[in-house]
Amino acid sequence: MKTKTSAKTIVILLLALLWLLVAFVPFWFMVLTSFKQSMELMTRPVWAFPDNPILTNFMNVINNRFFRFLTNSSIVVSVSIFLVVIISSMAAYVFARIRFRLNQPLFALIIAGLIVPIHVTLIPIYLLTTRVGIYDSLYALIGPYVAFSLPVSIFILTQFMRQIPYELEDAARIDGCGPMGSFFRIVLPLSRSGLVTIAIFNAVSLWNEFVFAFVLTSSPSTRTLPLAIWDFQGQYASDIPQIMAVLLLSALPLIIAYVIFQEQLVKGIMAGAIKG
């Protein structure tokens, strides 16, 4: 038994190291390239360290409306995540704690939203935003971001809330606490790990979202960070080191958020995964 356990542990460690290598190599390439000059990238090996590391790429990116793009992304993602957390937590509470006839059909209908391809909705959403009058504004992005984030968020939170003991709500009900009181005072605080999980999970996807931002915005004042790379490529050539600098600066907020909330993220994912 010990031999089998040791072999299994070794296999898991090897797979983890392989995945670490796959994830780390592109990031390391991005870091190295962001400190190089364009000609150095063309004349020296790709993985070579820069001869004279420079900060010019980062300065050019920062001086080229980077903080405007950062502000737009921060506003859109923050508002979208706030709405997703509020709406999905309320919906998940209904599906997880309240029994009614249409509970399972409605839950299945919401989960079915996971299989809807995003690209199929581009034309209807574009027409809707133009008719409503919010095209080329940050408001045009918030609606689609919230709508496409809700199915997976409701699914994760529902599985998470189903594990909270019903006895806690029964005790609160005896003390005169209604459904809303139970939600805000008992279920929501105990679902903190799940809330952090869906917040980080959706923040990563929305922070890097490109298609809707490209279709629903057109002016530089409303662009988000994924569209910032367009400022550093021309018709026949691209400034790869500056593009890598943009990507590195864009990834830093997500890396910092993950380092801070990684414990809650892992707890939330495991809690939703082990529930049968």
**pLDDT averaged over every residue in the chain:** 84
Three-class DSSP category at 96: helix
Question: Percent of the chain beyond pLDDT 70?
Answer: 91
Residue 37 has pLDDT above 50, yes or no: yes
- Segment 10-28 mean pLDDT: 87
Cα separation, 199 vs 193, whole angstroms:
10
- Segment 245-273 mean pLDDT: 75
Q: How confident is the model at residue 234 (pLDDT cuts 50, 70, 90)?
A: low
- Segment 138-152 mean pLDDT: 93
Q: Which helix (H) or strand (E) holds 249?
A: helix 240-273
Residue 276 has pLDDT above 50, yes or no: no
Residue with tokens 């989960």: 111
Query: How many residues are present in the chain?
Result: 276
Cα separation, 196 vs 264, whole angstroms:
6
How many H-runs (helices) and E-runs (strands) does the chain carry?
13, 0
Q: How confident is the model at residue 83 (pLDDT cuts 50, 70, 90)?
A: very high
Q: How confident is the model at residue 114 (pLDDT cuts 50, 70, 90)?
A: confident
- Segment 180-200 mean pLDDT: 85
CB distance 110 to 41 below 8 Å:
no
Q: Which domains does the chain have, with CATH numbers?
A: 64-273 (1.10.3720.10)
> How high is the pLDDT of residue 74?
93
Three-class DSSP category at 193: helix
Residue 205 has pLDDT above 60, yes or no: yes
Cα separation, 83 vs 77, whole angstroms:
10
Biggest CA-to-CA distance, the chain: 76
Residue 273 has pLDDT above 80, yes or no: no
**Is pLDDT larger for residue 229 or for residue 269?**
229
**Is pLDDT larger for residue 198 or for residue 169?**
198
Q: What is the dihedral of CA 220, 222, 225, 228, to 10 degrees?
A: -10
Question: Percent of the chain beyond pLDDT 90?
Answer: 27
Summarize pLDDT for 87-113 with one digit per residue, the tens.
Answer: 999 999 999 888 888 888 999 999 888
Report the predicted TM-score, pTM, of the whole model to 2 decimal places.
0.82
Residue 239 has pLDDT above 80, yes or no: no
- Segment 35-59 mean pLDDT: 82
